[in-house]
Structure 1
């Protein structure tokens, strides 16, 4: 079950850039807005290669039609839809569902019971 968490107003998003939101259990989520595609993406802010919470500061764009963010540290590219690192498919980041309701951005987080084995 997914828990939808209110993050911010759509007006708070920066076109063609990322913002960071601290949600639920103190996890950092990077939110990216591409107005030309009417697309909003949410991924973990943690760069697993650089080992720092910096992805919201990365550059966004696309490679071969795949939306991606380039880490500001070592420049690896992460697919914004799948979380897979384009340079090393064994590495990835968490991708969150996003929806816009009444001008508000909501991020889908797994319910706590989903994390139990």
Structure 2
């Protein structure tokens, strides 16, 4: 991650649902925030809007892990989006925006460039 990253407070650790997603706002955009493995400090944030259904539902998708790589299955049409880069596994030309996120003590921060 860039040293020029501007980290902003997003929410508290207690606001997360371990092993699931929550909907948050990053600036004016709805985002889905995931903490797939409680006990690990790895967080992911990607756009909340499903590009296939146009519904803001991705925070409520099913988390999937295969070969150490996490994705979320969209609740309506079941496309899978990789959490680390937003790429749709079924249609790789479709890519969702992602943001860097991290824990800073008991707070969750999002990186804005």
| In structure 2, C-alpha distance between the alignment counterparts of 1:20 and 1:87, rounded to whole Å | 24
Residue 96 of structure 1 corresponds to which residue in structure 2?
Answer: 99
Aligned length: 109
Q: Bigger shift: 27-36 or 79-88? A: 27-36
Q: Secondary structure at the match of 1:56?
A: helix
1:39 Cα offset (Å): 1.9
* Displacement after TM superposition at 1:36 (Å): 4.6
User: What is the TM-score normalised by the length of structure 2?
Assistant: 0.87
Unaligned runs of 5+ in 1: 111-117
1:7-28 deviation digits (Å, cap 9, x = unpaired): 111111101110011231x211
Name the one with the larger strand percent. Answer: 1
Aligned to 1:73: 76
The 8 Å contact of residues 48 and 92 in structure 1, kept in 2 or not, is answered as no
Q: Which has the higher helix share?
A: 1
Determine if the alignment matches structure 1 residue 9 to structure 2 residue 16. no
RMSD after superposition: 1.5
| Partner in structure 1 of residue 30 of structure 2 | 28
TM-score, structure 1 normalization:
0.85
C-alpha distance in 1 between matches for 2:9 and 2:65: 27
